[in-house]
Amino acid sequence: MADQLVYWPGFPGRAEPIRLALEEAAAEYDDTPGGMDELMKYVTPEFVDPNGNTPPFAPPILKVGNHLLYQTTNILLFLGPKLGLIPDDELGLYQVNELALTAWDLSDEAHNTHHPIGVGLYYEDQKDAAAENAKQFRESRIPKFFGFFNRVLEQNKASNSDYLVGSSLTYADLVLWQVIDGLKFAFPKATERELGKLELLKAFYDRVKERPRIKEYLGSKRRQKYSNGLFRHYEELDQ
């Protein structure tokens, strides 16, 4: 049976790096086959799994047989070796994981730009704080993270690699790609400005996007459009 991914339908969100990994490896998977009804089962605090799994904290969830895994980077840690998306040296897995976690931290900070006070309130009720947070994000945080990843690419290029770890694509590359892509949607001006200064990172973004299976996926209906999810575009936050 194919693994099942369960996530909020309607935007790429926190499931997207998992989809990119499955698509890059041409793995079979079902994407939230039960739709919203199925998802709601898992987000209810009273959820008790008939198979005895402890309750997931939040989607995305990967159903592997009778088991439920959650947390984006954890699901990738599980899938990485099976999908051929980690290097085969002893420490490679940890290098991939630390880079994936770091790129994913940037997506959390992107989320905080539109919800700096709390996820339980509307954006409209925290717009002033959002404007202040987004200014810091654009001027300090995007440059810090992008500069870091550009340095990692630079150091690995010394070993003739075009990717973050080892000699070929890993899931850390896909997490980073997805975060840059989300930022290009949410903060198009700030993101293009920073990418314009970082030749290696910009080339990396373009290279991953042109990988045949990624390109096919991005052009398919399986790729959902950005909307009011993790990455949101508010013009006033991208001045």
Question: Residues in the site for a second copy, rule: CB under 8 A?
Answer: 45, 48, 52, 54-57, 64, 67, 69-71, 73-74, 77-78, 91, 94-95, 97-98, 101-102, 108, 112, 116-121, 126, 129, 132-133, 136-137, 140-141, 147-148, 151-152, 155-156, 164-165
Nearer to a second copy, 99 or 195 (CB): 99
Q: How far is the CB of 223 from a second copy (least distance, A)?
A: 26
Nearer to a second copy, 172 or 208 (CB): 172
Q: How far is the CB of 212 from a second copy (least distance, A)?
A: 27
Nearer to a second copy, 55 or 84 (CB): 55
Q: How far apart are CA 83 and CA 90, in angstroms?
A: 17
Q: How far is the CB of 23 from a second copy (least distance, A)?
A: 21
Tokens standing for residue 219 = 């052009």
DSSP calls for 158-203: TTT-SSSSSSS--HHHHHHHHHHHHHHHHSHHHHHHHHTT-HHHHH
Q: How far is the CB of 224 from a second copy (least distance, A)?
A: 24
Q: How far apart are CA 218 and CA 169, in angstroms?
A: 17
Nearer to a second copy, 18 or 165 (CB): 165
Q: How far apart are CA 236 and CA 35, in angstroms?
A: 33
Nearer to a second copy, 138 or 214 (CB): 138
Tokens standing for residue 112 = 């905080």
Three-state DSSP at 68 gives: strand
- Whether the CB-CB separation of 171 and 17 falls below 8 Å is answered with yes
